[in-house]
Amino acid sequence: MGGNESGIVGNVIPERFGVYMGVGIGGIRTFETEHTKLMERGPRKVSSLFVPMMIPNMAAGMIAIKYDSRGPAMPAVTACASGSNAIGEAMRLIRHGYADAVITGGAEAAIRPSARTFSR
Protein backbone atom coordinates (compact mmCIF):
# COMPACT_ATOMS: atom_id res chain seq x y z
CA MET A 1 0.00 0.00 0.00
CA GLY A 2 1.32 3.41 -0.93
CA GLY A 3 0.00 5.39 2.02
CA ASN A 4 -2.38 7.63 0.07
CA GLU A 5 -5.37 5.35 -0.43
CA SER A 6 -7.65 8.15 0.83
CA GLY A 7 -6.53 10.51 -1.93
CA ILE A 8 -6.04 13.28 0.62
CA VAL A 9 -2.24 13.57 0.51
CA GLY A 10 -1.33 16.08 -2.17
CA ASN A 11 -4.92 17.31 -2.47
CA VAL A 12 -5.10 19.35 0.73
CA ILE A 13 -3.15 22.56 1.28
CA PRO A 14 -0.25 21.43 3.54
CA GLU A 15 -0.91 24.26 6.03
CA ARG A 16 -4.52 22.98 6.41
CA PHE A 17 -3.44 19.36 6.87
CA GLY A 18 -2.82 18.19 10.46
CA VAL A 19 -1.64 15.16 12.41
CA TYR A 20 -2.87 14.23 15.90
CA MET A 21 -1.51 10.93 17.21
CA GLY A 22 -2.20 9.33 20.54
CA VAL A 23 0.57 7.54 22.43
CA GLY A 24 0.38 6.07 25.90
CA ILE A 25 3.87 7.01 27.09
CA GLY A 26 6.38 7.42 24.27
CA GLY A 27 9.88 5.95 23.97
CA ILE A 28 10.03 3.62 26.95
CA ARG A 29 12.68 1.44 25.28
CA THR A 30 14.88 4.49 24.71
CA PHE A 31 14.42 5.53 28.33
CA GLU A 32 15.47 2.07 29.56
CA THR A 33 18.48 1.91 27.25
CA GLU A 34 19.79 5.35 28.18
CA HIS A 35 19.13 4.81 31.89
CA THR A 36 21.17 1.60 31.75
CA LYS A 37 24.02 3.47 30.04
CA LEU A 38 23.88 6.15 32.73
CA MET A 39 23.97 3.66 35.58
CA GLU A 40 26.59 1.32 34.11
CA ARG A 41 28.89 3.62 32.12
CA GLY A 42 28.21 7.16 33.33
CA PRO A 43 26.56 10.32 32.00
CA ARG A 44 28.97 10.83 29.09
CA LYS A 45 27.64 7.63 27.48
CA VAL A 46 24.01 8.83 27.42
CA SER A 47 22.98 9.77 23.87
CA SER A 48 22.66 13.46 23.11
CA LEU A 49 19.47 12.44 21.26
CA PHE A 50 17.96 10.89 24.41
CA VAL A 51 15.08 13.35 24.72
CA PRO A 52 14.22 13.63 20.99
CA MET A 53 14.17 9.82 20.75
CA MET A 54 11.69 9.38 23.59
CA ILE A 55 9.29 12.32 23.59
CA PRO A 56 5.72 11.35 22.70
CA ASN A 57 5.23 13.99 20.00
CA MET A 58 7.70 12.27 17.66
CA ALA A 59 4.98 9.99 16.22
CA ALA A 60 2.93 12.98 15.04
CA GLY A 61 6.08 14.77 13.88
CA MET A 62 7.37 11.87 11.79
CA ILE A 63 3.97 11.33 10.16
CA ALA A 64 3.70 15.06 9.41
CA ILE A 65 7.12 15.02 7.75
CA LYS A 66 6.31 11.92 5.70
CA TYR A 67 3.01 13.29 4.37
CA ASP A 68 3.99 16.99 4.14
CA SER A 69 1.50 18.06 6.77
CA ARG A 70 2.31 21.63 7.81
CA GLY A 71 -0.79 22.23 9.90
CA PRO A 72 -1.29 21.35 13.56
CA ALA A 73 0.75 18.33 14.69
CA MET A 74 0.22 17.24 18.28
CA PRO A 75 0.33 14.19 20.52
CA ALA A 76 -2.43 13.07 22.84
CA VAL A 77 -0.77 11.44 25.84
CA THR A 78 -3.54 10.16 28.06
CA ALA A 79 -2.56 6.52 28.72
CA CYS A 80 -5.09 4.02 27.36
CA ALA A 81 -7.40 6.78 26.08
CA SER A 82 -4.72 8.41 23.89
CA GLY A 83 -6.00 7.15 20.53
CA SER A 84 -9.59 8.13 21.32
CA ASN A 85 -8.50 11.55 22.56
CA ALA A 86 -6.45 12.14 19.41
CA ILE A 87 -9.42 11.26 17.21
CA GLY A 88 -11.69 13.60 19.18
CA GLU A 89 -9.20 16.45 18.97
CA ALA A 90 -8.76 15.89 15.22
CA MET A 91 -12.53 16.08 14.80
CA ARG A 92 -12.57 19.40 16.68
CA LEU A 93 -9.81 20.81 14.44
CA ILE A 94 -11.91 20.11 11.37
CA ARG A 95 -15.24 21.06 12.93
CA HIS A 96 -13.94 24.44 14.10
CA GLY A 97 -12.19 25.24 10.83
CA TYR A 98 -8.55 24.94 11.90
CA ALA A 99 -7.80 22.14 9.42
CA ASP A 100 -9.37 20.53 6.35
CA ALA A 101 -7.97 17.04 6.97
CA VAL A 102 -6.15 15.34 9.86
CA ILE A 103 -4.28 12.06 10.07
CA THR A 104 -5.21 10.65 13.48
CA GLY A 105 -5.15 7.53 15.59
CA GLY A 106 -3.07 5.92 18.27
CA ALA A 107 -0.03 3.69 18.69
CA GLU A 108 2.09 2.29 21.48
CA ALA A 109 4.76 -0.32 21.98
CA ALA A 110 5.43 -0.23 25.73
CA ILE A 111 6.06 -3.96 25.93
CA ARG A 112 9.10 -3.59 28.14
CA PRO A 113 10.16 -4.91 31.56
CA SER A 114 9.66 -1.55 33.27
CA ALA A 115 6.15 -1.21 31.85
CA ARG A 116 5.20 -4.64 33.22
CA THR A 117 6.52 -3.67 36.65
CA PHE A 118 4.10 -0.76 36.94
CA SER A 119 1.04 -2.52 35.56
CA ARG A 120 0.78 -5.16 38.30
Quick: pLDDT tens for 22-53. Answer: 998 878 888 889 999 999 999 999 999 998 88
Average pLDDT for residues 44-69, to the nearest whole number?
92
Sign of CA dihedral 13, 68, 52, 56: positive
What is the enclosing helix (H) or strand (E) of 114?
Answer: helix 113-118
Distances (CA, A) of 96 to 48, 60, 89: 39, 20, 10
Stated pTM of the model = 0.78
Tens digit of each residue's pLDDT (9 = 90 or more) over 69-102 = 999 999 999 888 999 999 999 999 999 999 999 9
Cβ(27)–Cβ(55) under 8 Å?
A: yes
119 pLDDT higher than 80: no
What is the enclosing helix (H) or strand (E) of 21?
Answer: strand 17-23
